Structure 1
Amino acid sequence: MRFVAGIWRLLTAALGIWALKTVWGLPHVWTYVNVQCTVLIVFVMLWSSAASLIHGQQPPAWLKGGVTVYALLLVVGSLTVIPSAPLDVASVPVMRLVGLGVPALMHWVVPGMVILDFLLFDPHHRLKALDVLVWLIYPAAYVGFLLVRGTWMPHAGPGMGGSSYPMAFLDPTLLGWSQFGVSCLKVAAATLALGAVLCLLDRAMPERPVLGAA
Protein backbone atom coordinates (compact mmCIF):
# COMPACT_ATOMS: atom_id res chain seq x y z
CA MET A 1 0.00 0.00 0.00
CA ARG A 2 2.99 2.32 0.14
CA PHE A 3 2.48 3.11 -3.54
CA VAL A 4 -1.12 4.12 -2.83
CA ALA A 5 0.16 6.32 0.01
CA GLY A 6 2.78 7.80 -2.31
CA ILE A 7 0.22 8.65 -4.99
CA TRP A 8 -2.17 10.12 -2.40
CA ARG A 9 0.57 12.35 -1.03
CA LEU A 10 1.67 13.35 -4.51
CA LEU A 11 -1.92 14.29 -5.37
CA THR A 12 -2.16 16.34 -2.16
CA ALA A 13 1.01 18.22 -3.07
CA ALA A 14 -0.17 18.70 -6.66
CA LEU A 15 -3.44 20.29 -5.51
CA GLY A 16 -1.47 22.54 -3.17
CA ILE A 17 0.82 23.61 -6.01
CA TRP A 18 -2.23 24.20 -8.22
CA ALA A 19 -3.68 26.54 -5.61
CA LEU A 20 -0.36 28.32 -5.03
CA LYS A 21 0.09 28.86 -8.76
CA THR A 22 -2.86 31.25 -8.80
CA VAL A 23 -1.26 33.57 -6.22
CA TRP A 24 2.34 33.24 -7.40
CA GLY A 25 2.49 36.76 -8.82
CA LEU A 26 0.78 38.41 -5.84
CA PRO A 27 3.43 38.77 -3.10
CA HIS A 28 1.10 40.47 -0.62
CA VAL A 29 -1.24 37.46 -0.70
CA TRP A 30 1.59 35.28 0.63
CA THR A 31 1.06 36.93 4.00
CA TYR A 32 -2.07 34.82 4.52
CA VAL A 33 -1.55 31.92 6.88
CA ASN A 34 -3.39 29.52 4.58
CA VAL A 35 -0.95 30.26 1.75
CA GLN A 36 2.08 29.75 3.98
CA CYS A 37 0.65 26.54 5.43
CA THR A 38 0.00 25.27 1.93
CA VAL A 39 3.67 25.84 1.06
CA LEU A 40 4.68 23.78 4.10
CA ILE A 41 2.16 21.08 3.23
CA VAL A 42 3.47 20.85 -0.34
CA PHE A 43 7.06 20.50 0.89
CA VAL A 44 6.29 17.78 3.43
CA MET A 45 3.91 15.84 1.19
CA LEU A 46 6.37 15.84 -1.71
CA TRP A 47 9.04 14.51 0.64
CA SER A 48 6.69 11.90 2.08
CA SER A 49 5.44 10.89 -1.37
CA ALA A 50 8.96 10.37 -2.69
CA ALA A 51 9.88 8.38 0.41
CA SER A 52 6.85 6.14 -0.05
CA LEU A 53 7.43 5.54 -3.74
CA ILE A 54 11.16 4.78 -3.51
CA HIS A 55 11.07 3.31 0.01
CA GLY A 56 13.18 6.17 1.37
CA GLN A 57 13.37 8.07 4.64
CA GLN A 58 10.05 9.60 5.69
CA PRO A 59 9.85 13.10 7.24
CA PRO A 60 10.36 13.06 11.02
CA ALA A 61 7.23 12.43 13.05
CA TRP A 62 7.24 15.90 14.63
CA LEU A 63 7.27 17.54 11.19
CA LYS A 64 4.54 15.33 9.74
CA GLY A 65 2.50 15.82 12.90
CA GLY A 66 3.02 19.58 12.76
CA VAL A 67 1.69 19.76 9.21
CA THR A 68 -1.35 17.79 10.35
CA VAL A 69 -1.95 20.18 13.24
CA TYR A 70 -1.75 23.19 10.91
CA ALA A 71 -4.16 21.45 8.54
CA LEU A 72 -6.56 21.02 11.46
CA LEU A 73 -6.11 24.70 12.35
CA LEU A 74 -7.03 25.71 8.80
CA VAL A 75 -10.21 23.65 8.92
CA VAL A 76 -11.19 24.88 12.39
CA GLY A 77 -10.30 28.45 11.43
CA SER A 78 -12.50 28.21 8.36
CA LEU A 79 -15.40 27.23 10.60
CA THR A 80 -14.80 29.94 13.19
CA VAL A 81 -12.48 32.91 12.85
CA ILE A 82 -11.33 33.16 9.26
CA PRO A 83 -14.74 33.63 7.54
CA SER A 84 -15.32 36.80 9.56
CA ALA A 85 -11.91 38.24 8.69
CA PRO A 86 -11.59 40.68 5.78
CA LEU A 87 -9.96 38.26 3.37
CA ASP A 88 -9.53 40.11 0.10
CA VAL A 89 -9.80 36.97 -2.02
CA ALA A 90 -11.49 38.98 -4.76
CA SER A 91 -8.03 40.23 -5.72
CA VAL A 92 -6.86 36.66 -6.33
CA PRO A 93 -7.39 35.28 -9.84
CA VAL A 94 -9.31 32.17 -8.87
CA MET A 95 -8.56 29.11 -10.96
CA ARG A 96 -11.34 26.57 -10.98
CA LEU A 97 -10.73 22.88 -10.44
CA VAL A 98 -13.79 20.64 -10.39
CA GLY A 99 -15.79 23.65 -9.30
CA LEU A 100 -13.53 24.55 -6.36
CA GLY A 101 -11.68 27.84 -6.02
CA VAL A 102 -8.41 28.60 -4.27
CA PRO A 103 -9.95 29.28 -0.82
CA ALA A 104 -11.73 25.91 -0.84
CA LEU A 105 -8.56 24.10 -1.90
CA MET A 106 -6.42 25.76 0.78
CA HIS A 107 -8.94 25.61 3.62
CA TRP A 108 -10.73 22.33 3.01
CA VAL A 109 -9.49 20.01 0.28
CA VAL A 110 -5.72 20.01 0.84
CA PRO A 111 -5.93 20.12 4.67
CA GLY A 112 -8.56 17.37 4.59
CA MET A 113 -6.28 15.18 2.51
CA VAL A 114 -3.42 15.79 4.96
CA ILE A 115 -5.63 14.73 7.87
CA LEU A 116 -6.76 11.59 6.03
CA ASP A 117 -3.14 10.82 5.21
CA PHE A 118 -2.29 10.92 8.91
CA LEU A 119 -5.23 8.68 9.79
CA LEU A 120 -4.81 6.12 7.01
CA PHE A 121 -1.20 5.98 5.87
CA ASP A 122 1.01 7.13 8.76
CA PRO A 123 2.43 4.75 11.36
CA HIS A 124 1.44 5.79 14.87
CA HIS A 125 2.79 5.81 18.42
CA ARG A 126 5.55 8.15 17.19
CA LEU A 127 4.50 11.56 18.50
CA LYS A 128 5.82 12.90 21.80
CA ALA A 129 4.18 15.25 24.28
CA LEU A 130 6.92 17.85 23.72
CA ASP A 131 6.04 17.95 20.02
CA VAL A 132 3.01 20.04 20.97
CA LEU A 133 5.36 22.80 22.12
CA VAL A 134 7.43 22.52 18.95
CA TRP A 135 4.28 23.08 16.91
CA LEU A 136 3.86 26.47 18.58
CA ILE A 137 6.98 27.77 16.83
CA TYR A 138 5.31 28.50 13.51
CA PRO A 139 2.28 30.38 14.94
CA ALA A 140 4.65 32.47 17.07
CA ALA A 141 6.90 33.14 14.09
CA TYR A 142 3.88 34.08 11.98
CA VAL A 143 2.69 36.63 14.52
CA GLY A 144 6.21 38.04 14.70
CA PHE A 145 6.30 38.27 10.92
CA LEU A 146 3.00 40.17 10.89
CA LEU A 147 4.22 42.64 13.50
CA VAL A 148 7.53 43.32 11.74
CA ARG A 149 5.83 43.72 8.38
CA GLY A 150 3.11 45.89 9.89
CA THR A 151 5.74 48.19 11.42
CA TRP A 152 7.88 48.52 8.32
CA MET A 153 5.12 48.48 5.69
CA PRO A 154 1.90 49.58 7.43
CA HIS A 155 -0.06 50.14 4.21
CA ALA A 156 1.24 47.31 2.02
CA GLY A 157 -2.01 45.31 2.03
CA PRO A 158 -3.71 42.90 1.61
CA GLY A 159 -5.99 43.82 4.53
CA MET A 160 -8.96 46.13 4.38
CA GLY A 161 -8.09 49.73 3.63
CA GLY A 162 -4.59 48.71 2.59
CA SER A 163 -3.64 47.43 6.04
CA SER A 164 -0.63 45.14 6.04
CA TYR A 165 -2.42 42.80 8.45
CA PRO A 166 -4.31 40.28 6.31
CA MET A 167 -6.74 39.08 8.99
CA ALA A 168 -8.80 41.27 11.28
CA PHE A 169 -8.48 38.97 14.29
CA LEU A 170 -4.68 39.48 14.19
CA ASP A 171 -4.64 43.20 13.44
CA PRO A 172 -3.45 45.27 16.44
CA THR A 173 -4.25 48.52 14.65
CA LEU A 174 -7.88 47.43 14.47
CA LEU A 175 -8.24 45.53 17.74
CA GLY A 176 -5.89 47.37 20.05
CA TRP A 177 -2.96 45.67 21.73
CA SER A 178 -4.88 44.07 24.58
CA GLN A 179 -7.39 42.36 22.29
CA PHE A 180 -4.58 41.47 19.91
CA GLY A 181 -2.87 39.72 22.80
CA VAL A 182 -6.07 37.82 23.55
CA SER A 183 -6.26 36.72 19.91
CA CYS A 184 -2.67 35.48 20.05
CA LEU A 185 -3.46 33.50 23.19
CA LYS A 186 -6.47 31.96 21.45
CA VAL A 187 -4.29 30.88 18.53
CA ALA A 188 -1.76 29.37 20.94
CA ALA A 189 -4.51 27.62 22.90
CA ALA A 190 -6.05 26.21 19.71
CA THR A 191 -2.65 24.94 18.57
CA LEU A 192 -1.98 23.31 21.94
CA ALA A 193 -5.45 21.77 22.08
CA LEU A 194 -5.35 20.36 18.57
CA GLY A 195 -1.80 19.18 19.09
CA ALA A 196 -2.82 17.37 22.27
CA VAL A 197 -5.76 15.76 20.47
CA LEU A 198 -3.46 14.62 17.68
CA CYS A 199 -1.00 13.10 20.16
CA LEU A 200 -3.81 11.27 21.96
CA LEU A 201 -5.18 10.03 18.65
CA ASP A 202 -1.70 8.88 17.67
CA ARG A 203 -1.53 6.84 20.87
CA ALA A 204 -5.03 5.42 20.46
CA MET A 205 -4.56 4.21 16.88
CA PRO A 206 -2.78 1.00 15.85
CA GLU A 207 0.98 1.33 15.56
CA ARG A 208 1.03 0.15 11.95
CA PRO A 209 -0.66 2.26 9.25
CA VAL A 210 -4.34 1.47 8.80
CA LEU A 211 -3.82 0.90 5.07
CA GLY A 212 -0.48 -0.85 5.18
CA ALA A 213 3.11 0.34 5.04
CA ALA A 214 3.77 4.04 4.49
Structure 2
Amino acid sequence: MPVVAWRIAIVLMAALAEAWNIKNMLASGERASEHFAYFTVQANLLVIVVMAWMLLVPQSRRPAWFDHLRGAATAYIVLTGLVYAVLLAKPDEVWSWSIEFTNAAQHRIIPWLVALDWLLVPTARRIRFGRGAWWMLYPLAYLGCSWLRGLVDGWYPYPFLDPGEHGGWAGLLVPTGQVLLAFLIGIFLVAGVGRLRYRESGADAARSSARRAARPSSTSSSPHSNSSP
Protein backbone atom coordinates (compact mmCIF):
# COMPACT_ATOMS: atom_id res chain seq x y z
CA MET A 1 0.00 0.00 0.00
CA PRO A 2 2.78 2.56 0.65
CA VAL A 3 4.14 1.93 -2.85
CA VAL A 4 0.67 2.32 -4.36
CA ALA A 5 0.10 5.57 -2.47
CA TRP A 6 3.54 6.85 -3.54
CA ARG A 7 2.83 6.14 -7.20
CA ILE A 8 -0.65 7.66 -7.03
CA ALA A 9 0.95 10.82 -5.63
CA ILE A 10 3.43 10.88 -8.54
CA VAL A 11 0.67 10.47 -11.13
CA LEU A 12 -1.54 13.14 -9.55
CA MET A 13 1.28 15.67 -9.23
CA ALA A 14 2.57 15.05 -12.76
CA ALA A 15 -0.94 15.25 -14.22
CA LEU A 16 -1.76 18.43 -12.27
CA ALA A 17 1.50 20.09 -13.31
CA GLU A 18 0.94 19.29 -16.98
CA ALA A 19 -2.72 20.36 -16.81
CA TRP A 20 -1.50 23.66 -15.35
CA ASN A 21 1.00 23.93 -18.19
CA ILE A 22 -1.71 23.37 -20.78
CA LYS A 23 -3.88 26.03 -19.11
CA ASN A 24 -0.99 28.50 -19.33
CA MET A 25 -0.31 27.45 -22.92
CA LEU A 26 -3.88 28.20 -23.95
CA ALA A 27 -3.88 31.52 -22.10
CA SER A 28 -0.56 32.70 -23.54
CA GLY A 29 -1.15 31.57 -27.11
CA GLU A 30 1.90 29.30 -27.08
CA ARG A 31 1.78 26.78 -29.90
CA ALA A 32 1.01 23.22 -28.82
CA SER A 33 3.65 21.97 -31.25
CA GLU A 34 6.23 23.95 -29.27
CA HIS A 35 4.98 23.10 -25.79
CA PHE A 36 4.93 19.34 -26.37
CA ALA A 37 8.33 19.51 -28.07
CA TYR A 38 10.08 20.14 -24.75
CA PHE A 39 11.92 17.10 -23.36
CA THR A 40 10.68 18.03 -19.89
CA VAL A 41 7.04 17.71 -20.95
CA GLN A 42 7.64 14.45 -22.82
CA ALA A 43 9.54 12.91 -19.89
CA ASN A 44 6.77 13.87 -17.45
CA LEU A 45 4.10 12.40 -19.73
CA LEU A 46 6.12 9.18 -19.94
CA VAL A 47 6.29 9.09 -16.14
CA ILE A 48 2.49 9.36 -15.97
CA VAL A 49 2.11 6.44 -18.42
CA VAL A 50 4.62 4.21 -16.62
CA MET A 51 3.30 4.90 -13.12
CA ALA A 52 -0.33 4.45 -14.21
CA TRP A 53 0.64 1.20 -15.93
CA MET A 54 2.18 -0.12 -12.70
CA LEU A 55 -0.91 0.90 -10.74
CA LEU A 56 -3.39 -0.69 -13.15
CA VAL A 57 -1.59 -3.78 -14.45
CA PRO A 58 -0.30 -6.50 -12.08
CA GLN A 59 3.39 -7.30 -12.29
CA SER A 60 2.70 -10.79 -13.62
CA ARG A 61 0.88 -9.33 -16.66
CA ARG A 62 3.48 -6.75 -17.66
CA PRO A 63 5.69 -7.51 -20.68
CA ALA A 64 9.28 -8.63 -20.20
CA TRP A 65 10.60 -5.28 -21.44
CA PHE A 66 8.58 -3.20 -18.98
CA ASP A 67 11.41 -2.85 -16.43
CA HIS A 68 13.56 -1.29 -19.14
CA LEU A 69 10.76 1.17 -19.95
CA ARG A 70 10.50 2.01 -16.25
CA GLY A 71 14.28 2.44 -16.01
CA ALA A 72 14.41 4.63 -19.11
CA ALA A 73 11.59 6.85 -17.79
CA THR A 74 13.45 7.17 -14.48
CA ALA A 75 16.67 8.14 -16.22
CA TYR A 76 14.94 10.68 -18.47
CA ILE A 77 13.10 12.47 -15.68
CA VAL A 78 16.09 12.52 -13.31
CA LEU A 79 18.34 13.87 -16.06
CA THR A 80 15.69 16.44 -16.94
CA GLY A 81 16.03 17.85 -13.45
CA LEU A 82 19.82 17.71 -13.59
CA VAL A 83 20.13 19.44 -16.97
CA TYR A 84 17.68 22.12 -15.84
CA ALA A 85 19.67 22.83 -12.68
CA VAL A 86 23.05 22.91 -14.43
CA LEU A 87 22.30 24.48 -17.82
CA LEU A 88 18.87 26.08 -17.95
CA ALA A 89 17.98 27.54 -14.56
CA LYS A 90 18.90 31.12 -13.80
CA PRO A 91 21.46 31.46 -10.97
CA ASP A 92 18.84 32.65 -8.50
CA GLU A 93 16.52 29.74 -9.38
CA VAL A 94 18.86 26.83 -8.69
CA TRP A 95 18.19 26.68 -4.93
CA SER A 96 15.07 28.83 -4.80
CA TRP A 97 11.59 27.47 -4.09
CA SER A 98 9.84 30.67 -5.13
CA ILE A 99 9.57 29.38 -8.72
CA GLU A 100 6.15 28.53 -10.14
CA PHE A 101 4.48 25.23 -9.27
CA THR A 102 4.87 23.56 -12.67
CA ASN A 103 8.57 24.34 -12.77
CA ALA A 104 9.17 23.00 -9.27
CA ALA A 105 7.05 19.89 -9.87
CA GLN A 106 8.45 18.87 -13.24
CA HIS A 107 12.10 19.77 -12.62
CA ARG A 108 12.51 18.96 -8.93
CA ILE A 109 9.77 17.13 -7.05
CA ILE A 110 8.80 14.52 -9.63
CA PRO A 111 12.42 13.61 -10.50
CA TRP A 112 13.11 12.98 -6.82
CA LEU A 113 9.93 10.96 -6.30
CA VAL A 114 10.56 8.78 -9.36
CA ALA A 115 14.22 8.29 -8.42
CA LEU A 116 13.23 7.10 -4.94
CA ASP A 117 10.64 4.75 -6.44
CA TRP A 118 13.38 3.20 -8.60
CA LEU A 119 15.76 2.98 -5.65
CA LEU A 120 13.32 1.50 -3.14
CA VAL A 121 11.19 -0.81 -5.31
CA PRO A 122 13.23 -3.55 -7.05
CA THR A 123 12.59 -4.48 -10.66
CA ALA A 124 10.75 -7.68 -11.56
CA ARG A 125 13.60 -8.77 -13.86
CA ARG A 126 17.32 -8.17 -13.80
CA ILE A 127 18.44 -5.13 -15.80
CA ARG A 128 21.09 -5.89 -18.39
CA PHE A 129 23.61 -3.15 -19.15
CA GLY A 130 23.68 -4.06 -22.85
CA ARG A 131 19.96 -3.49 -23.17
CA GLY A 132 20.18 -0.41 -20.96
CA ALA A 133 22.31 1.17 -23.68
CA TRP A 134 19.19 1.19 -25.87
CA TRP A 135 17.74 3.82 -23.55
CA MET A 136 19.98 6.34 -25.35
CA LEU A 137 18.01 5.92 -28.57
CA TYR A 138 15.24 8.26 -27.48
CA PRO A 139 17.52 11.17 -26.43
CA LEU A 140 19.45 10.78 -29.70
CA ALA A 141 16.21 10.73 -31.72
CA TYR A 142 14.99 13.80 -29.80
CA LEU A 143 18.23 15.59 -30.61
CA GLY A 144 17.95 14.81 -34.32
CA CYS A 145 14.27 15.79 -34.52
CA SER A 146 14.91 19.06 -32.65
CA TRP A 147 17.66 20.04 -35.08
CA LEU A 148 15.57 19.03 -38.07
CA ARG A 149 12.68 21.15 -36.83
CA GLY A 150 15.03 24.07 -36.20
CA LEU A 151 16.22 23.90 -39.78
CA VAL A 152 12.61 23.98 -40.99
CA ASP A 153 11.06 26.75 -38.86
CA GLY A 154 13.99 28.20 -36.89
CA TRP A 155 12.66 27.18 -33.44
CA TYR A 156 14.78 25.18 -30.99
CA PRO A 157 13.42 24.00 -27.62
CA TYR A 158 16.63 24.68 -25.68
CA PRO A 159 19.53 27.15 -26.04
CA PHE A 160 22.16 24.37 -26.09
CA LEU A 161 20.52 23.06 -29.29
CA ASP A 162 20.40 26.42 -31.08
CA PRO A 163 23.39 27.09 -33.36
CA GLY A 164 22.49 30.78 -33.36
CA GLU A 165 23.27 30.92 -29.63
CA HIS A 166 26.75 29.44 -30.09
CA GLY A 167 28.09 31.01 -33.25
CA GLY A 168 27.14 28.23 -35.62
CA TRP A 169 26.84 24.47 -35.68
CA ALA A 170 30.47 23.93 -34.63
CA GLY A 171 29.75 25.83 -31.42
CA LEU A 172 27.19 23.21 -30.40
CA LEU A 173 29.86 20.54 -29.99
CA VAL A 174 30.63 21.37 -26.35
CA PRO A 175 27.14 22.11 -24.90
CA THR A 176 25.39 19.31 -26.76
CA GLY A 177 28.26 16.93 -26.08
CA GLN A 178 28.03 17.70 -22.36
CA VAL A 179 24.32 16.92 -22.31
CA LEU A 180 24.77 13.66 -24.24
CA LEU A 181 27.61 12.59 -21.94
CA ALA A 182 25.47 13.38 -18.91
CA PHE A 183 22.67 11.26 -20.36
CA LEU A 184 25.02 8.38 -21.12
CA ILE A 185 26.51 8.37 -17.61
CA GLY A 186 23.12 8.92 -15.98
CA ILE A 187 21.49 6.10 -17.91
CA PHE A 188 24.17 3.61 -16.92
CA LEU A 189 24.00 4.77 -13.29
CA VAL A 190 20.24 4.23 -13.22
CA ALA A 191 20.65 0.84 -14.91
CA GLY A 192 23.37 -0.07 -12.40
CA VAL A 193 21.17 0.88 -9.44
CA GLY A 194 18.34 -1.20 -10.89
CA ARG A 195 20.66 -4.17 -11.34
CA LEU A 196 22.00 -3.92 -7.79
CA ARG A 197 18.54 -3.50 -6.27
CA TYR A 198 17.09 -6.51 -8.11
CA ARG A 199 15.97 -9.29 -5.81
CA GLU A 200 14.76 -12.56 -7.20
CA SER A 201 11.23 -13.32 -6.01
CA GLY A 202 10.15 -16.73 -4.76
CA ALA A 203 8.38 -17.49 -8.03
CA ASP A 204 11.42 -16.40 -10.05
CA ALA A 205 13.69 -18.54 -7.90
CA ALA A 206 11.42 -21.55 -8.39
CA ARG A 207 11.41 -21.06 -12.17
CA SER A 208 15.19 -20.69 -12.22
CA SER A 209 15.61 -23.87 -10.16
CA ALA A 210 13.24 -25.73 -12.47
CA ARG A 211 15.19 -24.59 -15.54
CA ARG A 212 18.49 -25.66 -13.98
CA ALA A 213 17.04 -29.04 -13.04
CA ALA A 214 15.72 -29.53 -16.57
CA ARG A 215 19.13 -28.97 -18.16
CA PRO A 216 21.02 -32.20 -18.91
CA SER A 217 24.13 -32.60 -16.80
CA SER A 218 27.42 -32.51 -18.68
CA THR A 219 28.61 -35.53 -16.64
CA SER A 220 25.53 -37.66 -17.22
CA SER A 221 25.82 -40.75 -19.39
CA SER A 222 24.02 -41.21 -22.63
CA PRO A 223 20.86 -43.36 -22.55
CA HIS A 224 22.64 -46.36 -24.02
CA SER A 225 26.05 -46.01 -22.38
CA ASN A 226 25.51 -48.94 -20.00
CA SER A 227 23.37 -51.15 -22.20
CA SER A 228 24.58 -54.57 -23.29
CA PRO A 229 25.58 -55.15 -26.88
TM range (shorter): 0.7 to 0.9
In 1, the alpha carbon distance for the partners of 2:51 and 2:186 equals 20
In 2, the alpha carbon distance for the partners of 1:123 and 1:133 equals 17
1:47-62, aligned counterparts within 5 Å? 47-52=53-58, 56-57=61-62, 60-62=66-68
CA distances 1:35-93 after superposition (whole Å, capped 9, x unpaired): 111111111111112125x97427711111101111220221132112159xxxxxxxx
Counterpart residue identity of residue 85, structure 2: L
Question: Which residue does 1:21 correspond to in 2?
Answer: 19
What is the total number of aligned residue pairs between the two structures? 184
Q: Verify: 1:80 aligned to 2:99, yes or no.
A: no
Counterpart residue identity of residue 15, structure 1: M
In 1, the alpha carbon distance for the partners of 2:191 and 2:50 equals 19
In 2, the alpha carbon distance for the partners of 1:186 and 1:130 equals 22
Question: Which residue does 2:128 correspond to in 1?
Answer: 128
Q: Verify: 1:166 aligned to 2:157, yes or no.
A: yes
Residue 176 (structure 2) aligned to one of 178, 184, 191: 184
Query: Larger radius of gyration, structure 1 or 2?
Result: 2
Q: Is the 8 A contact 2:127 2:191 kept in 1?
A: yes
In 2, the alpha carbon distance for the partners of 1:201 and 1:74 equals 18
Counterpart residue identity of residue 5, structure 2: I
Q: 1:128 to 1:206 in 2, by over 3 A?
A: closer
In 1, the alpha carbon distance for the partners of 2:53 and 2:153 equals 35
Q: Is the 8 A contact 1:124 1:206 kept in 2?
A: yes
Question: Which residue does 1:112 correspond to in 2?
Answer: 112
In 2, the alpha carbon distance for the partners of 1:125 and 1:186 equals 31
CA distances 1:88-134 after superposition (whole Å, capped 9, x unpaired): xxxxxxxxxxx961010000111111111111123376211123321
Question: Which residue does 1:201 correspond to in 2?
Answer: 193
In 2, the alpha carbon distance for the partners of 1:208 and 1:116 equals 20
Counterpart residue identity of residue 173, structure 1: G
Q: Is the 8 A contact 2:72 2:135 kept in 1?
A: yes
Q: 1:131 to 1:188 in 2, by over 3 A?
A: farther
In 2, the alpha carbon distance for the partners of 1:117 and 1:69 equals 12
CA distances 1:113-160 after superposition (whole Å, capped 9, x unpaired): 111111112337621112332111111111122112212222xxxxxx
SS of residue in 1 equivalent to 2:129: coil
Question: Which residue does 2:71 correspond to in 1?
Answer: 65
Structure 1's consecutive aligned runs of 4 or more residues displaced over 6 angstroms after TM superposition are none
Counterpart residue identity of residue 39, structure 2: V
Residue 38 (structure 2) aligned to one of 32, 42, 45: 32
Residue 3 (structure 2) aligned to one of 2, 5, 23: 5
Q: CA RMSD in A?
A: 2.5
SS of residue in 2 equivalent to 1:133: helix
In 2, the alpha carbon distance for the partners of 1:4 and 1:150 equals 44
Unmatched tracts of structure 2, length 5 or more: 92-98, 202-229
In 2, the alpha carbon distance for the partners of 1:145 and 1:44 equals 23
Report how far residue 4 of structure 1 moved.
2.7
SS of residue in 2 equivalent to 1:22: helix
